[in-house]
Chain A
Amino acid sequence: QVQLVQSGAEVKKPGASVKVSCKVSGYTLTELSMHWVRQAPGKGLEWMGGFDPEDGETIYAQKFQGRVTMTEDTSTDTAYMELSSLRSEDTAVYYCATGPVVPAAPIDYWGQGTLVTVSS
């Protein structure tokens, strides 16, 4: 069983960056495709990006390209999502989520979420 434990809530000022971590247990990162999904207060789910096993690289949603970086440390089985140039609209719960490392697989495990609040 995959377990994903995320870092704690963050409060950031507009223009700053935030880096959220996601520790994997039960499996190793190399056995999973890691994705990041966010949810603004009272809103729906928004896929930000994730590993595409077919291409062997991380794909970012166009909306976030240039502002988001998703990385992995396989020595500690920890994934990271860094979002820069924060604005108030980035206030949301950020989830890491995983699927099998095969092409076109659904997301089947989720972290508990990390609330990022952007406020001056």
Chain B
Amino acid sequence: EIVLTQSPGTLSLSPGERATLSCRASQSVSSSYLAWYQQKPGQAPRLLIYGASSRATGIPDRFSGSGSGTDFTLTISRLEPEDFAVYYCQQYGSSPKTFGQGTKLEIK
């Protein structure tokens, strides 16, 4: 089983700032089958990034993903008020399709 570790656990930033979220895998994620999701309170998760760096349909270009192997990053270039939420990474290249524990992005 691939274990995903996200850091930091909580990130406190202000609107307009840049956010960098990390996801580290216990073993290489095959073919960069790594996704990022955003979840707001009381809502289902929303797919942001798949294939480590491809934006899902309708996702603003301030969201970008990078990385390969065991180290992946989600970057939000300029935070908007609606971006404050919890973010999860997930690897879907092998079963079980594990999630990271999440990073909470909160308003400073």
Total count of chain B residues near the partner, CB < 8 A: 26
With A and B bound together, what is the CA distance between A108 and B45 in angstroms? 9
Q: Which residues on the A side are within 8 Å of B51 (C-beta)? A: 106
Q: Say whether A111 contacts B44, CB under 8 Å.
A: yes
Partner of B101, one of A35, A37, A44: A44
Partner of B97, one of A35, A62, A110: A35
Partner of B92, one of A62, A95, A104, A111: A104
Q: Say whether A107 contacts B96, CB under 8 Å.
A: no
Interface string of A42-82 (1 = CB under 8 A from B): 00111101101000000101100000000000000000000
Q: Which residues on the A side are within 8 Å of B27 (C-beta)? A: none
Q: Say whether A59 contacts B88, CB under 8 Å.
A: no
Q: Say whether A44 contacts B102, CB under 8 Å.
A: yes
With A and B bound together, what is the CA distance between A108 and B56 in angstroms? 8
Q: A105-B92, A107-B47, A113-B44 are in contact. Are A47 and B97 (CB under 8 A)?
A: yes
Q: Which positions in B face A, CB cutoff 8 Å?
A: 1, 30-31, 33, 35, 37, 39, 44-47, 50-51, 56, 88, 90, 92-93, 95-102
Q: Which positions in A face B, CB cutoff 8 Å?
A: 35, 37, 44-47, 49-50, 52, 59, 61-62, 95, 97, 99, 104-108, 110-113
